[in-house]
Homo-oligomer: A and B are copies of this chain.
């Protein structure tokens, strides 16, 4: 947040929010933010990680974009946590019959997204354009943007060598010990222009870093040239929602990776990871004792999101917190 100023608009103003999101956990909060901005006639832009994207069976697969699309279109499978609800797997079984690679599960319905996206991208359509078209078709209110239209890959350097993200995540089930992670392509990629434009919007209320894996889902976005600067110079506060709850990561390999990289599994470690990027942190109420160790504004609240109500609750909490932060004097910038 750059030079936070007294907001001229009241808290009844239509919310205007940017969210940075990875897949499942991030998509949940994005769905909450979508619900409240929709209800209040506001605006939400979700910039989604593309570092997990890969080509499989010749198809361009964008797991995080799809998780966000499905979550906001309410097509997602809440039980499984990824893919579409009421999914079937006839394609996969037929693929196995003819000897195709079957380590990455593609549902019959989900497959339409990959086939059509691959087709459109081969015709020269940008990923962001395809995403916008699909979002419109699915009746999604928010603007969903890939963080970049360029190709960025997440490469996980492990004790067994460098693994492309999906090889590490799905094929190897996060088993190899992580040494470090980098993002080939990120240095040459351009953040999506609409993302930079929205971040610079003086009417923005909040920039929310969703409770996604900081290392695997948010860092590929932050690695895009100019993005950290855009966050620093934004007039809205940047607020991260910790993906750590009660000393553990709710989903995925975040806790394991943090351990392997020498970090504690605490909100403080999340704050430290995002140092220089965030203005405030939202942590789970179970982790509140840890808050004392943090030298930035902290909101401890219920971050578990089991149903849409939970998502909306957290979204509102984050928005109210962001407006509070925006009204405080600019002490944080000076500290950094």
Contacts and interface: CB of A to CB of B under 8 A. Distances in A.
Interface of A: 57-59, 84, 87-88, 90-95, 97-100, 108-113, 115-116, 118-119, 122, 133-134, 137-138
A66 to B, nearest CB: 11
A111 B111 contact: yes
Contacts of A98: 112-113, 116, 133-134, 137-138
24 contacts: A57-B116, A57-B119, A59-B115, A87-B90, A88-B88, A88-B90, A90-B108, A90-B109, A91-B108, A91-B112, A91-B115, A93-B109, A94-B109, A94-B111, A94-B112, A94-B113, A98-B113, A98-B116, A98-B133, A98-B134, A99-B134, A100-B115, A108-B111, A111-B111
Contacts of A116: 57, 95, 98-100
Each complex incorporates copies of this chain amounting to 2
B58 A118 contact: yes
A95 B112 contact: yes
Q: Which 3 A-B pairs have the closest CB atoms?
A: A94-B112, A58-B119, A90-B108
A108 B87 CA distance: 12
Contacts of A58: 115, 118-119, 122
Contact of A110 (B57, B92, B94, B137): B94
A97 B137 contact: yes
A77 to B, nearest CB: 13
A118 B111 CA distance: 15
A232 to B, nearest CB: 37
A112 B100 contact: yes
Scoring A88, A116, A122 by chain B CB atoms within 10 A of each residue's CB, the highest score goes to: A116
Contacts of A94: 84, 108-113
A113 B91 CA distance: 9
Contacts of A99: 116, 133-134, 137
A303 B137 CA distance: 49
A100 B97 CA distance: 27
A100 B115 CA distance: 9
A138 B95 CA distance: 11
Contact of A57 (B91, B92, B115): B115
B95 A108 contact: no
A97 B118 contact: no
Scoring A58, A97, A134 by chain B CB atoms within 10 A of each residue's CB, the highest score goes to: A58
Scoring A92, A110, A112 by chain B CB atoms within 10 A of each residue's CB, the highest score goes to: A112
A187 B225 CA distance: 53
A90 B57 CA distance: 19
A110 B108 CA distance: 11
Contact of A112 (B97, B133, B137): B97
A94 B60 CA distance: 17
